[in-house]
């Protein structure tokens, strides 16, 4: 965990340094405005405070190597949360925490371990975005055919011992940056005045970790999952190339719809830690997609809306014939407003 956070911090510092150099270069050479003012209006000299409600669905699907109709699915117990975001200049930060209405000490402990955080560093041409999230406690569901009732009788419906975390990093370039604003679509630091779209290309990295006190597959289902029934921990690392398209549709000046689809092909490293034998490792290419739909209002001072983001990752399994798919669905309700900065921030103001 510490190494992941350290790596993320190093990457952020590198990008901040890069953006600062670009800002100084722009100020020195006095280049003309780098965006079309008939398409984009910027509010980057104001703070944007956003209040957020979210529902985050996360699914781990483990498929029987011998029958694709037999699938074990894990999903988090705690879906809903509330949070706050702060956006200014090229810096965006957002934190969402699950809210527990259950007074049970065991449930309170689980809720404390469920949260998500997003960090973005965005220029007009280049967009860096990252999110980290973790879950403690998962629901269990098994779907299958031709199963004897003894095997599936009294299966646990939830497991509090399963812990997962994931880190996603992406760095993209927009080719139509003079007319299209990513900030207007995602964080409302900008406002899109006319409809515009852009081709997107870049890099992405994904790290995913899941572990449990006992095997991920319940003992009663061992016969359906071969050696995957011995897995107590799984680690996945990916780095890939993205290329896709995004478009902002403007309706009556202040209402907008954003659509984007960005597929990626990546090199993947995946390791299974087994309870009774040597670890298994799989390497190779895999596919992933990022799709986003946003509908909202973006006025002079106030903004708000609804966003749906889907991340889907195919997993190459170390067990021949087996596989898994990770799916994240983020539902985000937001409302925010802009106001003048309360104090100076020398690094961000450059």
Residue 60 to residue 320: CA distance in whole angstroms = 18
CA 324 to chain centre: 18
Confidence class of residue 226 from pLDDT cuts 50, 70 and 90? low
Q: pLDDT tens digit string along 123-146?
A: 888 889 888 988 888 888 776 654
Least confident range from 132-141, 226-235, 256-265, 291-300: namely 226-235
Residues 232, 215 contacting (CB under 8 angstroms): yes
> Is pLDDT above 70 for 103?
no
316-to-155, 191, 313, 334 alpha-carbon distances in Å: 27, 41, 10, 36
Q: In a 10 Å sphere around its CB, with 0-12 CB exposed, 13-18 middle and 19+ buried, how is residue 151 labelled? A: middle
Mean of per-residue pLDDT scores for the chain: 79
Q: What is the pLDDT of residue 21?
A: 45
Q: pLDDT tens digit string along 291-345?
A: 999 999 999 999 999 999 988 877 666 665 555 667 788 889 999 999 988 777 7
pLDDT average, residue stretch 65-70: 63
Residue 218 to residue 84: CA distance in whole angstroms = 38
Residues 272, 280 contacting (CB under 8 angstroms): yes
Which has the higher per-residue pLDDT, 47 or 325? 47
Threshold 0.75, pTM exceeds: yes
Q: What is the pLDDT of residue 52?
A: 93
10-to-16, 93, 118 alpha-carbon distances in Å: 10, 17, 16
Residues β-bridged to residue 61: 73, 325
Report the half-sphere exposure of 199 (CA within 13 A, side-chain side). 3
Q: What is the pLDDT of residue 199?
A: 96
pLDDT average, residue stretch 148-152: 54
């Amino acid at each position: 965990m510490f190494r992941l956070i350290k790596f993320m911090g190093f990457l952020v510092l590198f990008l901040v340094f890069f953006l600062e150099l670009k800002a100084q270069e722009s100020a020195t050479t006095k280049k003309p405005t780098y965006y079309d003012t008939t398409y984009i209006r910027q509010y980057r000299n104001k703070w944007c405070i956003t209040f957020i409600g979210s529902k985050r669905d996360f699914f781990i699907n483990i498929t029987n190597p011998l029958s694709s109709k037999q699938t074990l699915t894990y999903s988090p117990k705690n879906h809903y949360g509330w949070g706050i975001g702060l956006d200014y200049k090229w810096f965006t930060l957002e934190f969402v925490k699950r809210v527990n209405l259950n007074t049970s000490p065991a449930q309170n402990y689980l809720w404390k371990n469920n949260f998500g955080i997003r960090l973005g560093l965005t220029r007009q041409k280049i967009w860096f975005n990252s999110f980290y999230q973790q879950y403690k406690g998962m629901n269990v569901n098994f779907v299958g055919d031709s199963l004897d009732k003894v095997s599936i009788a009294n299966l646990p419906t939830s497991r509090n011992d399963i812990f997962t975390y994931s880190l996603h990093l992406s760095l993209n370039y927009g080719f139509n940056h003079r007319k299209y604003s990513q900030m207007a679509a995602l964080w409302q630091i900008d406002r899109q005045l006319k409809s515009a779209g852009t081709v997107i290309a870049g890099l992405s990295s994904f790290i995913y970790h899941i572990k449990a006190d006992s095997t991920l597959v319940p003992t009663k289902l061992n016969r359906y999952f071969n050696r995957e029934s011995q897995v107590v921990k799984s680690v996945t690392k990916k780095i890939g190339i993205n290329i896709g398209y995004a478009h902002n549709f403007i309706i009556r000046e202040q209402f907008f719809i954003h659509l984007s689809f960005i597929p990626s092909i990546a090199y993947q490293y995946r390791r299974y830690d087994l309870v009774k034998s040597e670890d298994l490792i799989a390497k190779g290419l895999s596919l992933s997609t990022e799709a986003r739909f946003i509908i909202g209002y973006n006025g002079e001072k106030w903004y708000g809306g609804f966003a749906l983001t889907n991340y889907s990752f195919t997993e190459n399994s170390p067990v021949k014939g087996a596989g898994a798919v990770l799916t994240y669905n983020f539902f985000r309700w937001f409302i925010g407003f802009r106001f003048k900065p309360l104090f100076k921030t020398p690094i961000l103001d450059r």
